[in-house]
Chains A and B, each alone.
Chain A
């Protein structure tokens, strides 16, 4: 069965620090998709990135970067030069191709960025 683990429950950083959010997943499928979502205090779920299991190329988008490593079943997310507006709960999620596209979420990491 698919499973996503976010071991970090809560992280607090000071603005401008870099922060990495960890995500480890379990799946028996060879084809799967990984996601990161952001949930700000307002409550909505905002899509950040999708990565498929065949594409291990890491990605940078502005202050965000993602490190996907199949060998360790990890899909970590780094925010560079964090800002107060980055304060939110971040969820890692997984879809296996054989599960009718059911998205399985991790328990989330609450990031608090202070001045």
Chain B
């Protein structure tokens, strides 16, 4: 157990729907990162939050949004889902933005049908 908890582990939904992925970081970690792993794009950085504030944005679609709550857990919201959004979504956490070591959760496998 890495200490980073992601729920749900698997999600199957239809096109056009909206889903929320949840991440609880490792105790004491202030930064949360979201990554998308798809077959054609590899591991892509989506967004980073640090202590509740957005710190960096990557290749995140406008249909996607995220937030980090006061208790430091984070949610990634995916809306108007398309078949191409099917992927493994990872959350990772670290102690601070320059602690060069992420701990990854086990991921949420999203399948859009």
Contacts and interface: CB of A to CB of B under 8 A. Distances in A.
A45 B48 contact: no
B32 to A, nearest CB: 12
Chain B interface SS verdict (over half): strand
Interface residues of B, number: 27
Contacts of A100: 48, 55-56, 97
A22 B68 CA distance: 36
A1 B28 CA distance: 31
A47 B3 CA distance: 13
Q: Which of A47, A52, A102, A108 gathers the greatest number of chain B CB atoms within 10 Å?
A: A102
Given A44-B107, A91-B43, A103 B56 contact: no
A64 B35 CA distance: 27
A67 interface: no
A35 B104 contact: no
B64 interface: no
Interface in A84-99: 91, 95, 97, 99
Interface of A: 33, 35, 37, 42-47, 50, 52, 91, 95, 97, 99-105, 107-108
Interface of B: 2, 31, 33, 35, 42-43, 45, 48, 55-56, 58, 88, 90, 92, 94, 97-107, 109
Given A43-B109, A101-B94, A102-B58, 12 more contacts: A35-B100, A43-B107, A44-B105, A50-B100, A91-B43, A100-B48, A100-B56, A101-B98, A101-B100, A102-B45, A103-B35, A103-B92
